[in-house]
Amino acid sequence: MSGGKGAMILLGILLFFTLSLSPVSGDYPTFIQKARECFESGRHQECDSLLTELRSLKLKRLQRRKVCTLWLDNTYHTGRHAEFLNVLNSKYVKRNLDRSDYEYWINVSKIPPMDVIWPDKTEQLPLRTIGPRGHSLYGVDVMVNGTPLLGMIDNCCCNYCSISTELAERLGVRPIGKTIRFNGNRRSKAFIGVVDSLSLGNLIVRNVLVDVSDHLTAVRETHALDIIIGGNVLRRVGDMTIDNEAGTVSFSNKTLGLPQNVFWTYEGHEYYVKGVLNDHPVTMLFDTGNTNTIMSGRYLDRFPSDNTYREGTLTVTQVDRTWETKVYVIDRAGFELCGEACELFDVSILLEGSGAKRFDGNLGVDVLRQFKTIIFNANKLYLQLNK
C-alpha cells in the first residue's frame, strides 16, 4: 500500500470517528430540537455549543433557518445584547433567515433589552379571582404604560404577554411586525408589539414584547381581564409566591435557589411536573391559566378504562364557543406532586385522540388552591408546594 493511500484511509477513519463522537452527528433534526430544549430549560451554554457545531454542518435550508432563529433567541433572551447584534449581522444569519423574519429581528434590535427594576422590599400584592362563572383563576392588578389594568397570571398561554387590538391602540403599543397565529387559531392572527413598562406594584418591567390580537377582545369579555401576563415577564420576576391563605402574590429576586426539579419546558412557555395519580406515574402540564385538572387521551392510552372510571360528560368552554364532550370520570383522585399530596374529586379523562403526546393531563388551579403557598420560578425551573 502506498503512503498516499494509507494516509487517505487513516484520514477517513479519523473523520468517521470524529463524526461519530460529535454531539450532533447523524440525526440533525433531533439535535436541533435538543438545542431548543437546552435554550428553553435555561442550559444556555450547552445550547451555544450545540449551535456552534450545527452551524459547521451542511444542513438543509429549513434546518439552517431554525438554527438562525435559535441563535438569535438564545442571545437575545439571555440579555447578551452586544452578542445578539453581532449574530444578527453575521453572514450566516443574513444568508439563511427569511426576509420577513430578519426584518422582525431588526425591529427587535432597535428596542432596548427588557429590564427589571426591583423595589427595595418585596410587596404582597392582592390576588384577584378572575374568569367566567365557576372559574377561579389567579389575577393581579398591573400598570401598563401608566394605565391600571387587571392581569391574569398564565404561565402556559403564550411566550409573550397578550392584549387585544383595541387595548393596544389605547395604550400606544408600538408594533414591530411578525404576524403570528394566536395559540394556533387559524381564524385569529396576531402581531407582536412592545409596551414601554409593565408594573406589578413597585416592580417595573421595561420594554415588554406583547402579542396583540382581536382574539383577546373575546378573552377580555369572557374572563373580565385586560392582559395575560405571559412567559417573557414570568421568567424575569424571580420567585413568584402565591399565598392562597392570605390571598396575595409576590415576586422576589432573592430567590430560594432550589435545584431544578421535576419539570421541563417546551417552546418557552409550557412547564411539566412529574407526579403520581392513584399510583400511576404521570407527567402533568403545570397550568395557572386552567381552572380544572383534566387528564388527556394519553393517560387513557396508558391506563385504559377499568371499574374505577365511570362515563360522564364535560362542558368545554373556549372564547368563541361552548360544547359538551363525552369523558371518563375518576370519582376520587389522589395526587402526589413535588413531595406533597392532595385529593381531587370528579376528575375528567378526555377520550382517545383528545390529548397531546407530551403529557398526561393539565394540572389546574383546583389542585394549586389546596396548598397554603406555591413558589414558582419560571427561569430557574423549580416549583415548591407547601401545605
> Residue by residue, what is the 3-state secondary structure of 126-169?
EEEEECCCCCCEEEEEEEECCEEEEEEECCCCCCCEEEEHHHHH
State residue 219's pLDDT score. 73
Which tops the pLDDT comparison, 1 or 279?
Answer: 279
Which tops the pLDDT comparison, 260 or 125?
Answer: 125
State residue 7's pLDDT score. 58
For helices 44-55 and 28-40, give the axis angle rounded to 10 degrees: 150
Is pLDDT of 234 > 70? yes
State residue 270's pLDDT score. 78
- Residue 350 phi/psi, 5-degree rounding, is -65, 150
Strand partners, 4: none
State residue 110's pLDDT score. 87
State residue 249's pLDDT score. 97
Q: Are 116-252 and 271-386 the same fold in CATH?
A: yes
Asked if residue 92 lies in contact with residue 102, where contact means CB atoms within 8 angstroms, the answer is no
State residue 267's pLDDT score. 56
Q: What are the boundaries of each domain within the chain?
A: 15-110, 116-252, 271-386
Is pLDDT of 182 > 60? no
Q: Is 257 helix (H, G, I), strand (E, B) or coil?
A: coil
Is pLDDT of 69 > 90? yes
**Helix H or strand E encompassing 18:** helix 3-21
Number of Cα atoms under 13 Å in the Cβ half of residue 250: 16
- Rounded distance, CA 42 to CA 268, Å? 10
Return mean pLDDT, the chain. 84
- Rounded distance, CA 290 to CA 362, Å? 8
State residue 289's pLDDT score. 84
Q: Between vectors from CA 138 to CA 212 and to CA 348, what angle results, nearest 5°?
A: 100
- Rounded distance, CA 48 to CA 19, Å? 19
- Rounded distance, CA 353 to CA 346, Å? 21
Percent of the chain topping pLDDT 70: 83
Asked if residue 288 lies in contact with residue 366, where contact means CB atoms within 8 angstroms, the answer is no
What confidence category does residue 23 fall into, taking pLDDT thresholds of 50, 70 and 90?
very low
DSSP 335-369: EEETTEEEEEEEEEEEPTTSS-SS-SEEE-HHHHT
Cell of 94: 443574513
- Rounded distance, CA 195 to CA 144, Å? 7
Give the pLDDT confidence of 341-378 residue by residue, as tens digits.
Answer: 999 999 999 886 555 667 899 898 999 999 999 999 98
Percent of the chain topping pLDDT 90: 46
Is pLDDT of 264 > 50? yes
Is pLDDT of 208 > 90? yes
> Which of the 8 DSSP states describes residue 260?
P
How large is the average pLDDT for residues 190-211? 92
Where b means 16+ CB within 10 Å and e means fewer, 233-268 reads: bbbbbbbbbbbbeeebbbbbeeeeeeeeebbbbbeb
Domain at 116-252, CATH from 3.30.1490.120, 3.40.50.1360, 3.40.630.70, 2.40.70.10: 2.40.70.10
CATH superfamily to which 271-386 belongs:
Acid Proteases (2.40.70.10)
Of the listed ranges 133-137, 168-172, 277-281, 374-378, the least confidently predicted one is: 133-137
Is pLDDT of 247 > 70? yes
State residue 72's pLDDT score. 95
Is pLDDT of 179 > 70? no
What confidence category does residue 4 fall into, taking pLDDT thresholds of 50, 70 and 90?
low
